[in-house]
Structure 1
Amino acid sequence: MHNYEKLKKNKANWIVVAVIVLVAIISLIGWSNYRSHHLAGTYTNQATFLGVTSKTKLEFSNDKKVKMTNGTTSENDTYELSGNDLKIKNEDDEVIMRAKLADDRKSFKVKSIAGDIFGILKNIEFTRQS
């Protein structure tokens, strides 16, 4: 009977531990879901074409905004992230860039850019700045 009383006494401790573990698991799932739909940080690309070097910088924020700088700056663009597929839209909600995000989220490659009818800008890679 001594073991039964010990087990009964520790029952409350086991319940507390189980609740803490459950909350931790739910938090990890929630964070993973949040992260899968948001991107933050600055990604850059420097390209040379016909002797002209251009640098493009994309600054992503958690509020689904992206600031693009490449000679001029656009601040009203937004982005959508579905898995590793990235879409950047202008203020008129038109897709201006599609890209594939790397699994480690440290880079992405352009799949298409609006106005690039010859596909010259396809597969340009942007890398995250630390």
Structure 2
Amino acid sequence: MSLIDHLDHLVLTTVDPAASEHFYVDVLGMQLEAFGEGRKAFRFGNQKINLHVRGKEFEPKAHLPVPGALDLCFIAAVPLEQVIARLKEKQWPIIEGPVMRTGATQKIRSVYVRDPDLNLIEISELA
């Protein structure tokens, strides 16, 4: 029996908060959330990505918080063709895909991009 039900948030460390905000809010359509003392997060569904700026991380933090170390997979709220069209409209390069992959619950169809910190971002639809 698992003690864990779902993911609430994760923390992304960035060197350029404005570039991260552009990608996650303007390109991917997440909602910008301000909280605490000047902190920011990107909200989507019932989850969010909290933003840390390298060298100014909020405590406690990961042992080695570094930009570009994440490999994330998001399930899209729209068909993958709409995701691809949005990425093209925003001139954000797709580095691979669409390709078939194995997701947490079933097969998924995915495209891969890199965010401004070079994290690998997989955007998928259930197949």
The TM-score, its normalising length taken from structure 2, stands at 0.25
Rg larger for: 1
The TM-score, its normalising length taken from structure 1, stands at 0.25
Higher relative contact order (CA 8 A, sep 6+): 2
